[in-house]
Amino acid sequence: MNKKYTIIKNFHLYASSKGDYNGIKKIIKEHKVLFIDDDMLMNFLNVDEFIYYLKIERIEFFRCKNKNPVEIIDFKFLENVKQISFCNTNFNNFFSKYPYLKSLESLTLSDKMDWVDDNLNIKEDTPFQIIDDNIQHFKSLKNLIIDYKNVAYLSNKISNLKNLEYLHLVNSEIRCFDTLKDLTNLNHLSFVVNNKNFDTTFFFNQIKHLKNLTRFSYSNEYSIILPPIEIFFPKLQHLTFSNLALKNIPLNIRKMKKLSALELCFCEIEEIPEWILELQNLEYLDLSGNNFKIIPIWLNKMPKLHILKCFYSFELENIEKSNFPNIHIEGV
């Protein structure tokens, strides 16, 4: 393989490629991302050397249901890789490969699409996966996304990821909250849970130590009462609550003067309170999926607000957008 090839920028390779991998050489200067599926694992020999010599920085394993790529690929060739995603793919034993992934900055583990057959019918349930203690050795990791419903175990050694900046958890069974307080560089935390037995108070008591958070997202349709987040997260600029049974916009948000973006979606909100005018730095407001009937004209008084989203607001009466010359209203 020609060693003069430069870093790839964007290359997608699915089963539809039918094994015609020789044509890859013609476009390698244009690409940087490699998508790997079952067909590629089974038909393209030396895929790991291919990744190495072309200096691919991002790999996405997509629906590798028949083969575990961790057992096939020689990870010693992946020293340049900065981003890896496992989408509907078995990743067991992946974390034992840490000696070869010292450049890895972003890791995504997702089963968002479920395990489906070629006709998009659910074929089997997602296998249980383990995130073991070896996760602590991924010292360069900045972004960690776990959107996988059957994570049987998440090691508390996650607390050793001192460079972690973004953590996204979607799993009601994960229990590592008491270690999150040690992630001192974390600036974006996103947590999604739908479990009526979830201990909201315990969760917030553990994460309240994350004083450097600038963005926080939380979703749980069973949550009604929220803690004083304005005290917990004094640097917060972007706040997202979704699928919460709030009825009203929480009053403690009134004190969060640094907010530039506020998303309160599907929270059963019935009206927009006038005190929201006090959020003078607010630029972006998403109130989609709520029950309020009018958009108050006094929103024009907000000096920086330029985007208002109201998708799926079925109670909302017809409005005249010309009455809001400085606000781009979407969803109505």
Residue 212, token pair as written in the block: 């450097």
Q: 2-58: per-residue pLDDT in tens? A: 333 333 334 444 333 344 444 444 444 455 677 888 877 777 667 777 777 677 888
**DSSP assignment string, 46-114:** THHHHHHHTT--EEEEE---SS-HHHHS-GGG-TT--EEEEES---TTGGGGGGG-TT--EEEEE-TT-
Which pLDDT value is given to residue 219?
92
Residues 264 and 135 in one domain: no
Which residue(s) pair with 169 in the sheet? 146, 191
Last residue of a domain, one of 136, 165, 186: 186
Question: What type of residue sits at position 98?
Answer: Y
Q: Three-state SS for 188? A: strand
CB atoms within 10 A of CB 216: 21
Count of H-run helices and E-run strands, the chain: 6, 17
Determine, yes or no, domain membership for 264: yes
* H or E segment and range at residue 309: strand 307-309
- Total domains in the fold of the chain: 2
CA distance 291 to 267: 9
Which pLDDT value is given to residue 45?
62
Q: Buried b vs exposed e over 246-282: b needs ≥16 C-beta within 10 Å?
A: beebbeebeebebbbbbbbbbbbbeebeeebeebeeb
Residues 165 and 51 in one domain: yes
Residues 181 and 286 in one domain: no
CA proximity to 11, closest of 43, 40, 46? 40
CA distance 39 to 18: 8
Which pLDDT value is given to residue 64?
83
Residues 167 and 282 in one domain: no
Residues 29 and 163 in one domain: yes
Residues 159 and 11 in one domain: yes
Higher pLDDT: 83 or 152? It is 83
Instruction: Find tokens 């706040």 and name the residue.
Output: 239
Residues 313 and 175 in one domain: no
Determine, yes or no, domain membership for 305: yes
Q: 122-155: per-residue pLDDT in tens? A: 445 556 678 889 999 999 999 999 988 777 678 8
Contact 112, 149 (CB under 8 A): no
Determine, yes or no, domain membership for 82: yes
CA distance 260 to 32: 33
Phi, psi (5° rounding) for residue 301?
-80, -10
What's the domain range around 51?
A: 1-186
Contact 224, 251 (CB under 8 A): no
Last residue of a domain, one of 186, 201, 236: 186
Determine, yes or no, domain membership for 200: no
Determine, yes or no, domain membership for 201: no
Contact 239, 276 (CB under 8 A): no
CA distance 235 to 87: 33
Determine, yes or no, domain membership for 209: no
Which pLDDT value is given to residue 168?
93
CA distance 170 to 173: 9
Whole-number CA gyration radius for the chain: 23
Residues 279 and 174 in one domain: no
Last residue of a domain, one of 186, 208, 241: 186
Arithmetic mean of pLDDT over the chain = 82
* H or E segment and range at residue 238: strand 238-242
Residues 1 and 116 in one domain: yes
What percentage of the chain exceeds 70 in pLDDT? 81
CA distance 205 to 192: 17
Contact 285, 308 (CB under 8 A): yes
Question: What type of residue sits at position 79?
Answer: E
Q: 162-194: per-residue pLDDT in tens? A: 999 999 988 656 666 777 888 989 999 999 887
CA distance 19 to 247: 55
CA 234 to chain centre: 23
Which pLDDT value is given to residue 3?
33
Determine, yes or no, domain membership for 198: no
Residues 165 and 302 in one domain: no
Mean pLDDT over 244-259 rounds to 92
Residues 254 and 323 in one domain: yes
Determine, yes or no, domain membership for 228: yes
Domain with residue 237: its CATH number is 3.80.10.10
Residues 231 and 312 in one domain: yes
CA distance 108 to 110: 6
Q: Three-state SS for 119? A: coil
